[in-house]
Structure 1
Amino acid sequence: MDEVLKFLTDNKVFYLATVNGDAPALRPFGFAMKYDNKLYFCTANTKNVYKQLKANPKMQISATSPEGKWLRLNGKAVFNTSKESQEAVLNTMPMLKNMYKVGDPTFETFYIDQADATFYDMQGNSHNVKF
């Protein structure tokens, strides 16, 4: 998990795909953290990403580095919002305090379960990490 988190944080913007009915839905994300020994993300429950993950928790993340390496991460979203997880998010990325505060009823945290990550490079090499 640490290798995945490092790749996501080193490459600031990554893309999270969900299932929207029978079509994929993709959007940029920029926050990930290790919390309670899990890889966590956050969103608002007013957003389509939240609604889509609640309807179908399957998700995929893709990120690319300037050096031509990339990551594909598959798993299932598990929402597990608490004041402690919200506080951890805001401590990890203080700029999110402009959007959320601890106890905000729209502020949701979730982690990826059954995570299966594959790292690739332009030479055709790859390696897999599961957590």
Structure 2
Amino acid sequence: MSVSEGWNARPERSEGNAQNKLLTFIMSVIILLVVTIKVTTILSSKISEAFMELCEVAACLEKVGLQYMATIGLDGKPKVRPVQFMVEHDGKLWFCTKSKKSMYAELVKNPWIDLCGSKLLENEIQTTWIRLSAEAVFEENLEVKKMIMEKSAIVHELYENNAKHPLFKVFYLKNIRGSLNNLGHVKGLSERADFAKPKEFEF
């Protein structure tokens, strides 16, 4: 091979090396993207398992049936009373009360509440409970009042089947933060794999 032929071959080899580097770079990017997608999918799945949706919280409250709500009394001392979750509507959890009750006056003055509910099972270690903190917001929502009245025979009778009854008040919760737990994860007890992990929620 002549000198001139050798010089002519160098650009071809350089071009080939550049193509190989480019191909290697592209493959590295593709592999990185695939790994990122897989990791993101796994993390999303784990997060989904650890956190509850609003509809799940509503279903849990329905299943429990009766909850206990803590408010700050007009005397500044905590008050706890049984309440019943009524309906989920428009992405909100709704409850109701009567405007003549002390609970109404307490929530108007200080809307922050804590709520806890549970239903003891025969195998008590499988018992779950839900607890949350939130802010109560009163709203004159006729549609919600009608839904509650259709659901609850007590409310239906108490307000004489009149959704516009002046004493009938409804409120929803906002700034909700809580968790669903079970007795299998009580501190001091050995954690068992057959129990669901505690799930948190925030809305």
Instruction: Give TM class, smaller chain.
Output: over 0.9
Could you say which structure has the higher strand fraction? 1
2:128 alignment counterpart:
69
Identify unmatched segments of 5+ residues in structure 2: 1-53, 122-126, 186-196
Q: How does 1:48-127 map to 2 (within 5 A)?
A: 48-67=102-121, 68-100=127-159, 101-124=162-185, 125-127=197-199
The answer to which structure has the higher helix fraction is 2
CA root-mean-square deviation? 1.4
Once the two structures are superposed, residues 48-71 of structure 1 have per-residue CA deviations (whole angstroms, 9 ceiling, x without a partner) of 111100000001110012232111
The answer to whether 1:129 aligns with 2:201 is yes
Gapped regions of structure 1 (runs ≥ 5): none
Larger relative contact order, structure 1 or 2 (CA cutoff 8 Å, min sep 6): 1
* Superposition deviation, residue 127 in structure 1: 1.6
Larger mean Cα displacement after TM superposition, 79-88 or 36-45: 79-88
Q: Which stretch has the larger CA shift, 115-124 or 104-113? A: 115-124
Q: Residue in 1 aligned with 2:69?
A: 16
TM-score (norm: length of structure 1): 0.92
Q: Equivalent pairs: percent with the same residue? A: 26
TM-score (normalised: structure 2): 0.61
Query: How many residues matched?
Result: 131
